[in-house]
Structure 1
Amino acid sequence: MSVKQIDTDAEENSDKSLQAIFLNGWQGFEELEETSLPFNSVEYQLKVKDVMSKFEAATTFVNRIGLFSPNELIDEVSTDSLQYLLLPFFLGKTALRLKQEDRGEVLQIAEVYFKDFLQRCEEYDLCGSRKSDESGGSAEGGNPNELAQLMRAAHARNNKIAQFRKKKELEEFVKKMKLAVRNKSVDDEVRREFFLKLLNKSIIDANEELDSVKLEKQMVQMHVAAASVAAASNDDFSANTTMTTSNSEHAGHSHHHPHHNRPQTKRKPMQPFIITRNAAQKAVFGAGYPSLPVMTVDEFYDQRVRDGVFPDEEKVEKMNREQAIAAAKDPNEKEDEEKAIEEVQIENDDPEYLERMRRMDEYKDVVRRGDGNRYNRS
């Protein structure tokens, strides 16, 4: 047997070993998601550590044989190798299930895994770069107006809805094709599509997990800070007990609190701008000279609002807010809401809806489809 043949056989054996370890870890990961064991149980934590050890062993294999290169394109990666791009994602998801006293350390490890997974996917142009939205939070030197905030909130909401729908579609495809791909009962093209869609779904999951990890890290830091403050307070409690007691007894003889008796200063109301030169001119010339302006700006505007000439400020602001939200709304979501409202009206036998439908039927009986303005038509 030649040396080249020996190297080829060794490589094939290592590939088989890598695939076996990876599949065992993948199946164990799915068991963790489906099991009813409590998170804090010893059996569950042993399963978590076993799954992590298998994924770590598979990662060691991948690094040893140099399976991936930053200079290659995704089309150059073989179909069987695509699944190993998921290793850091699976490690991050599994690490979050670990129960340790230092939760911050677990979060830090999971964050490294997710960022490594996204970085590798970016190198293969599988996802856009994860950019921070902090720069778009405010304009130069000032706070953004309410309309801009509503537009950004509606845009972010629509993006989340679109990501959710895309994720559900990918999950359905992955669930449908998983067993066939594992058993290799489908052709190479279908298997490649499966792994690419699984990667796209995992990219969405990784971004969501990073957001959750960021929030949880802040909570852990707040908890640690509160615990340190509480510990310091407990250390000083015994030393300050006597002093606090004596001070409270001394303060009990005095009931005078100057800040309680201080009158609360009220903000001076805005004075309306007078159209006439002064208030005396308004009082003197108001009745005898109707051609002169005899109202303040506020009085003039209030009168026009009562007459229906000018719109009410609150109504205008509410209309602008509703229009902004409606403009940024997803058309599919708006259509679903209209259909839901229509179904409710049909079930409740809404009289207005029934009357409108009857008028529409009568109109269709009288006016045929295509009738209309036929002026100057043959």
Structure 2
Amino acid sequence: MALQEDDEKKLSEIFDIVYKNYIFCETTNESSSSVIVQKKVKESFEICEKLVAMVNSLELFSKNERLEEISTSDIKMMMLPAFMGYYRGKVTKDDRMSVLKESQIFFIDFLKLAKLYGIASIDLPNVGEENVSELENSKTQTENLVEMSNIRAKKIERHREKVKLKEKLNELRSAIDKPSADEEIVRDFYITQLKEWVSLSYEELDNIDRELEIFNFMKNRSASDSSEVGTKPKEQPKKPLRPFILTKSAVQAAVFGAGYPSLPTYTLEEFYEEQFANGNVPPAKYICYKQLS
């Protein structure tokens, strides 16, 4: 038990790098395509991938558990798919269509996870369903107007909730900075962060949808122009999308799909030492780490 507690402490400290880099990306005056920002983005995404494998190895989560049964230090690990969606979406050099679709998958996986543990009331977006446009076209004008009104009402409600959550987080942040911070306050802080990321995920998914619509419009127009001159546009090879896995068993993995390895490629000690060498975490005291691979 003590060994797992030590491992989880190290995971928590490494996770803090991801969060620190997120704050940097959100507050810096640097361009999102600048070398320094893209370096942070790449580093953070890779750390998230390794953390996912280690979380799986430590078996921190189970489908049969309730939120109350998850330890306070582990709760923030549930934000990993949201951070992966955020950092993947920030990449500027890769094929934009692939970037958007992968980012979309991560955000939806986070919403699935949040729904599974009852973090918030969640309506999962209909992404990747075929014939969506045909269904949209078959709706009457009245049905479309009603749907648009409902969507607008939900967005307004989410915005109000986001403002409340931000205010609450500021209050809790001040409280947890105190040396005598109660564990319940820390727990409430992490759960509130998860709720905030639910709101942010909806916003990001809306932005992704709009950008994908533009890409699809341009693609269809290009295909139409090409057909007029008798040429067929060359299709780019599609990179397989990788769903997020944060599970305790192969059965649970099926809920989120397959794509990531369930075991890390090296030990937590090696990972921690790598981050220490990069100046991201403090030096560790001598601990007998258990092997994770």
- TM-score w.r.t. structure 1 length? 0.53
Change (3 A) 1:227 1:178: farther
Measure how far apart 1:225 and its partner are. 3.9
Structure 1: state its 5+ residue gaps. 1-7, 237-378
Q: Counterpart in 1 of 2:250?
A: none
Q: Counterpart in 2 of 1:265?
A: none
Separation in 2, partners of 1:162, 1:12: 39
Q: Among residues 204, 207, 210, which one is paired with 1:209 in the alignment?
A: 204
Q: Among residues 2, 10, 15, which one is paired with 2:8 in the alignment?
A: 15
Structure 2: state its 5+ residue gaps. 127-131, 232-293
Paired residues in the alignment total: 223
Name the structure with the higher helix share: 1
8 Å CA contact 1:21, 1:57 repeated in 2: no
8 Å CA contact 2:91, 2:99 repeated in 1: yes
What RMSD, in angstroms, separates the aligned Cα atoms of the two structures?
2.9
The structure whose Rg is larger is 1
Amino acid at match of 1:224: K
Q: Could you tell me the percent identity over the aligned residues?
A: 26
8 Å CA contact 2:162, 2:199 repeated in 1: yes
Separation in 2, partners of 1:199, 1:104: 27
Measure how far apart 1:65 and its partner are. 0.4
Q: Counterpart in 2 of 1:250?
A: none
Separation in 2, partners of 1:66, 1:184: 30
Separation in 1, partners of 2:56, 2:178: 26
Q: Counterpart in 2 of 1:104?
A: 97
Measure how far apart 1:185 and its partner are. 4.1
Greater alpha carbon shift after TM alignment, 29-38 vs 179-188: 179-188
Change (3 A) 1:10 1:42: same
Greater alpha carbon shift after TM alignment, 19-28 vs 159-168: 159-168
Q: Counterpart in 1 of 2:40?
A: 47
Q: Among residues 137, 140, 145, which one is paired with 1:143 in the alignment?
A: 140
Q: Among residues 80, 83, 97, which one is paired with 2:73 in the alignment?
A: 80
8 Å CA contact 2:115, 2:122 repeated in 1: yes
Q: Counterpart in 1 of 2:235?
A: none
Separation in 2, partners of 1:164, 1:110: 22
Q: Counterpart in 2 of 1:173?
A: 168
Q: Counterpart in 2 of 1:124?
A: 117
Amino acid at match of 1:164: H
For residues 68-94 of structure 1, the C-alpha deviation after alignment (integer angstroms, 9 at most, x for no partner) is: 001111111111111111010011111
Mapping for residues 315-334 of structure 1, pairs under 5 Å: none
Q: Counterpart in 2 of 1:261?
A: none
Runs of 4+, deviation exceeding 6 Å: 231-236
Mapping for residues 1-378 of structure 1, pairs under 5 Å: 8-130=1-123, 143=140, 145=142, 153-178=148-173, 180-181=175-176, 185-227=180-222
Separation in 2, partners of 1:173, 1:232: 56
Measure how far apart 1:37 and its partner are. 0.8
Change (3 A) 1:226 1:42: farther
Change (3 A) 1:149 1:24: closer
